[in-house]
Amino acid sequence: MVKNILIVEDEVKLRLELKTFLNNNGYNVSIIDNFDNTVRDILNSNADLVLLDINLPNLNGEYILKEIRKVSNINIIIITSRNTEIDELLSINYGADDFITKPFNKEILLARINRLLNKKMENNIIKYKNIKLDISKSIIVKDNTIIDLTKNELKIFHYLIKNIGKIISRDELMNYLWDNYEFVDDNTLTVNINRLRSKLNSIGLNDTIITKRGQGYIILGDEVET
């Protein structure tokens, strides 16, 4: 089901770009462009999540937050350009679920939104061919065989399988690992891929990860079951 996000931001251009960006990432987005009745508009919006600029013209974002919290526990992420520990504490005290500072880092923005919206939706088991990848346990299960994966191997396999049918460059893979706090270098990545391959070979999944010369890696197939 597509989730609805409401943007409450007075900068016209910023909110339009934000809308496009979130649309492109698979969300339904609505906007408030009149701030006469912001609290009422937010409450009537049926949104799953609100992005609320804390510095609205003639309006106190903290006041809006407090008013909403009196009657609703809708997900609210505060947008602000102030980045001190104090501002962060204040917003959370007033009842915001999260906090993001301008300028946005797109990964952080999406991660925070996803964290609030998909809390319970993330599935931990992915089925591919005749195996199951259990992400929370970091194992591959085939019939009665269980293979342990290291953190890096798990992340690499998970990312490739999530993007099944797409070529993933080494660069992209590296970026993904770094985003997940695995600061691997070029050699380590090669070593990890080789180890992952031999583990897959040991359960008969030869040639699962295919090297596309000069482009990257790919796992062939259609969408996987989760």
Q: Which residues bind other proteins (CB under 8 A)?
A: 11, 13-14, 17-18, 20-21, 24, 81-86, 89, 101-104, 106, 171, 174-175, 178-179, 181, 183, 185-186
Closest separation between CB of residue 11 and other proteins, Å?
A: 5
DSSP 147: E
Closest separation between CB of residue 79 and other proteins, Å?
A: 8
Q: Measure Cα distances from 68 to 25, 72, 86, 211 in Å.
A: 27, 6, 22, 53
For residue 41, what are the contacts with CB-CB under 8 A and spacing of at least 6?
A: 32, 34
**82 versus 137: smaller Cβ distance to other proteins:** 82
Closest separation between CB of residue 173 and other proteins, Å?
A: 11
Q: Is 4 helix (H, G, I), strand (E, B) or coil?
A: strand
**44 versus 183: smaller Cβ distance to other proteins:** 183
Closest separation between CB of residue 48 and other proteins, Å?
A: 21
Q: Which residue has the tokens 């952080």?
A: 108
Closest separation between CB of residue 83 and other proteins, Å?
A: 6
CB 51 within 8 A of CB 96: no
**55 versus 201: smaller Cβ distance to other proteins:** 55
**11 versus 134: smaller Cβ distance to other proteins:** 11
For residue 120, what are the contacts with CB-CB under 8 A and spacing of at least 6?
A: none
**82 versus 132: smaller Cβ distance to other proteins:** 82
Task: Enter the tokens of residue 68.
Answer: 């909403």
